[in-house]
Structure 1
Amino acid sequence: MLQHFRTVAVACTTFTGALVAGPVVAQDNGPVKIGFTGALTGPYNEYGEGLRRGIILAVEEWNKRGGVNGRKVEFPEPLDDQLVPDRAVQNTRRILDDKSVQLIVSPSGSGPTLAVVDMVMADGRPFCNAQAQAPTIVYPNGRDKPPRKNIFSVSISNTVEAEKLGQVLGGKFKSIGILHESTGYGVSGADLVKKQIAAGGTAKIATESYNQRAQDMTAQLVRLQRSGIDALLVIGLGADFAVIRKNMVRLKIEVPLYGSAGAMTVPFIEGAGDLAVGTYGVNALALGERPMAPLAKSFVDLYRAKYGMDRWYGADPENPQISLATSVGSGFDCANVLLDGVRRAGSTEPERVLKALAETKGLEGVSVKSISFDPSDHTALKPSDLGVYRLAKSGEKIVFQLSAD
């Protein structure tokens, strides 16, 4: 079923030279292990628990096919950081102290990933960023400078998301409000969207921020309303997006509402209920296209067979929630990216795996349809991988529908 994991084009299978001075790791035999810390519990567990499930699905499929280069793949018990940066740091230290772990999948969220990325870079083991959107995770000195050598990303970067949102909003509205969380994800996302909108038109922009888990955003919304906005974009997470939507209804703010990929998730639909209907947002195209690409369909079938139609999948058997791609699918993709690098390197030695990863070409994915990297570009997802979705009612179900922007 999952022959699609293989790259469409692999330039070479022998590697020479070293990319980084890697850490001392276990000998190049025995099981191949993937380390992970994420938000497995707490108010944002849709991200970390989703990544955990995606990694499990990928590991099981590799092991069904004999592992990687004849070596069994293992996923040691993941650690829970509840999306708290300090906990992510403590957990990552534990992972890095275990020299039998050769590959690492990033924490869920920009805050925890930014908190650990420097220690991961210094360590040198291959690291795949599944969800964090802050551009500095991969490019600490700017997009025009080299990426971190051992960090590769399948996530929706704020830069890419901002370009897509700028295209959608900039030519459509005259006065746009941006309400963003006060984290690195929210601040950098808002700044990038403002630049994209300004570059493409003359729309006025008003901005406000809020703290994660705030229970009321009335003051910020009133200020945006008084500025005369005719559309509102929220850059944040789903649970907070639900609070904002309810506040808008109470204040009778009736303007088109857009959400970032992080906002258009399960907790938003759970928290806002029918008030979510009519909301727009960007997210991965793979699960929204009909017919689905072969790997996307295989992934959906695997998920339903193992976990059923739960809160990640949704209530419609034919139309899984789009956020399944960026919650579970991105963990699935990261595990496959790392393991495919090991396969092509013929080794778990960091320098050889990193060289192979930088030569990835056309690896099929779920959060990104076709994953490619090169030495100067360690981010797989491009604006063309994103679609604009509208939440709509289908009978008693709330579903994602691809929109014409």
Structure 2
Amino acid sequence: MNKWVKGVLPFTAAIGLMLSGCANSASSGGSIRIGLVTALTGEYTIVGQYLQEGAALAIDEINANGGINGRRIETVKEDSANTNPTAVNAFNKMVNNDKVVAILGPDLSTQLLAVAPIVNKTKIPVLVQGTNPKLTTESSWYFRLRPDDSIAASAAANFAVQKLNMKKIGITHDTDEFGSGGTKIIQDTLTSLGATVVGVEAYNSQDKDLSAQLTNLKNKGAEAIIDWGHPQQSATLMKQNRQLGVNLPIVGSPGMAMPATTSLAGDAVKGVYVVVDTVGKENPDPKVQEWVKKYQAKYNRQPDFHALAAYDGVYMLSEALKKSKDLSAQSIADEMRKIAGYKGIANEFDFSKSGDGAKQVMVVQLEDADRLKLIDTVKAK
């Protein structure tokens, strides 16, 4: 992924997490510091890059328009890489060394579950992109910017049964919190729809060969596969599905539509269905079209849903900061919980009932590595 790493644009300063007792120093004058904990190294750097770019685009616009009540936003970043200990260390560095009013957290649910005790102790608002449903029950300080898997995974199962008319379905998934949590929802939804789960095949995040999983599901009579995993393994699944002649229809989790995934899978993406948070250039909404052009002009590539969510997250946080009485963690969180009916670029958000803000997903079909077709929009019930 070196070609992606080279494109990462640095932020104006380094980000961190602040102890609740340090809030006054962040609100006493000068710039307002917010934090970003994401993958700056390792397998998930591409996700970290999109997060940074989406956030930076919003911050540049906000600062150009007067900042937060006349004060500029300043950011600091820490590397969560792709392991829980690294994420814990990153949050601890912020707690001990930096003074920020809120942070944008990593994408991996397993990392967010690992750092929840730190977040609960320090009581700092954290805007997250992990999708495991447990996150917002583990911490009331988490504000989720993406649809959780109770929406996305159930949408994948419903689509396979009700739109593709498949009754015998196999599931492949990563063994981490994201993959395992999504799989449970998929299984329950399929069962409720009267479909048969012919087999569940797990893999690890570092696996490079999924031929055994594919062959097992084919031999068990699967008519389709629902995959809940991350870019590299999802790309391998699509490629080997073709190479081995298994050729089963695939419905995938959001990461399957990421450029990092489709570029690895090449022609094998053709015909694959993916449940995504939202789409960019394929979205007919003029507001989204304008934003995509702006992003492409700045970064010379198309955005993905992580960038869109980060952009919306920064703007919602900025509104909470402007209305906050004293920039204390509690005041900022209280203002975030007042957000309802916020129509962003990525989604429509409502934090008034829970920390789960995004309320819909889209189903797309991949036409090639650079093109997809919008099939359906699914809103939470």
Where on the TM-score scale, by shorter chain, does this alignment land: which range?
Answer: 0.7 to 0.9
Query: What is residue 67 of structure 1 aligned with on the other side?
Result: 67
Structure scoring higher RCO (CA < 8 A, sep ≥ 6) equals: 1
What is the alpha-carbon distance in structure 1 between the residues aligned to residue 51 and residue 283 of structure 2? 24
Code of the residue aligned with 1:244 in structure 2: it is L
Query: What is residue 158 of structure 1 aligned with on the other side?
Result: 149
Deviations 1:90-122 (A, max 9, x none): 111111224521111111211222211221122
1:342 to 2:321 alignment = yes
1:390 to 2:365 alignment = yes
What is the alpha-carbon distance in structure 2 between the residues aligned to residue 61 and residue 288 of structure 1? 21
What is the alpha-carbon distance in structure 2 between the residues aligned to residue 250 and residue 388 of structure 1? 25
Deviation (angstroms), 1:132:
0.7
Deviation (angstroms), 1:207:
0.5
Deviations 1:356-385 (A, max 9, x none): 1111022232221x21211x4111122xx2
1:39 to 2:39 alignment = yes
Query: What is residue 137 of structure 1 aligned with on the other side?
Result: 135
**Structure 1 contact 159–192 (Cα < 8 Å) conserved:** yes
Higher percent of residues as helix: 2
**Structure 1 contact 284–387 (Cα < 8 Å) conserved:** yes
What is the alpha-carbon distance in structure 1 between the residues aligned to residue 143 and residue 318 of structure 2? 13
Query: What is residue 9 of structure 1 aligned with on the other side?
Result: none
What is the alpha-carbon distance in structure 2 between the residues aligned to residue 35 and residue 228 of structure 1? 48
Match of 1:197 among 186, 190, 198: 190
Code of the residue aligned with 2:154 in structure 1: it is E
Query: What is residue 273 of structure 2 aligned with on the other side?
Result: 280
TM-score, normalised via structure 2 length: 0.88
Query: What is residue 118 of structure 2 aligned with on the other side?
Result: 119
Deviations 1:32-90 (A, max 9, x none): 111112112322212111101111111111101110111110012x2222222111111
Code of the residue aligned with 1:329 in structure 2: it is L
User: Structure 1 pair 66/121, CA: closer, same or farther in 2 (3 Å)?
Assistant: same
Query: What is residue 264 of structure 1 aligned with on the other side?
Result: 257
- Within-5 A mapping of 1:1-400: 22-27=20-25, 28-29=27-28, 30-76=30-76, 78-129=77-128, 131-140=129-138, 148-171=139-162, 172-287=165-280, 290-294=283-287, 296-309=288-301, 313=302, 324-368=303-347, 370-374=348-352, 376-382=353-359, 385-393=360-368, 398-400=370-372
Query: What is residue 13 of structure 1 aligned with on the other side?
Result: none
Q: Tell me, what secondary structure is at the counterpart of 1:234? A: strand
User: Structure 1 pair 304/346, CA: closer, same or farther in 2 (3 Å)?
Assistant: farther
Note the residue ranges of structure 2 that are not aligned, 5 or more in a row. 1-18
What is the alpha-carbon distance in structure 1 between the residues aligned to residue 224 and residue 110 of structure 2? 27
Code of the residue aligned with 2:105 in structure 1: it is S
TM-score, normalised via structure 1 length: 0.83
What is the alpha-carbon distance in structure 1 between the residues aligned to residue 189 and residue 325 of structure 2? 42
Deviation (angstroms), 1:285:
3.2
Q: Tell me, what secondary structure is at the counterpart of 1:165? A: helix
What is the alpha-carbon distance in structure 1 between the residues aligned to residue 224 and residue 83 of structure 2? 32
Q: Tell me, what secondary structure is at the counterpart of 2:134? A: helix
Percentage of identical aligned residues: 24
User: Structure 1 pair 404/26, CA: closer, same or farther in 2 (3 Å)?
Assistant: closer
User: Structure 1 pair 23/159, CA: closer, same or farther in 2 (3 Å)?
Assistant: farther
Match of 1:402 among 331, 353, 374: 374
Deviation (angstroms), 1:404:
5.1
Q: RMSD over aligned Cα, in angstroms?
A: 1.9
Deviation (angstroms), 1:281:
0.3
Deviation (angstroms), 1:199:
1.3
What is the alpha-carbon distance in structure 2 between the residues aligned to residue 70 and residue 230 of structure 1? 59
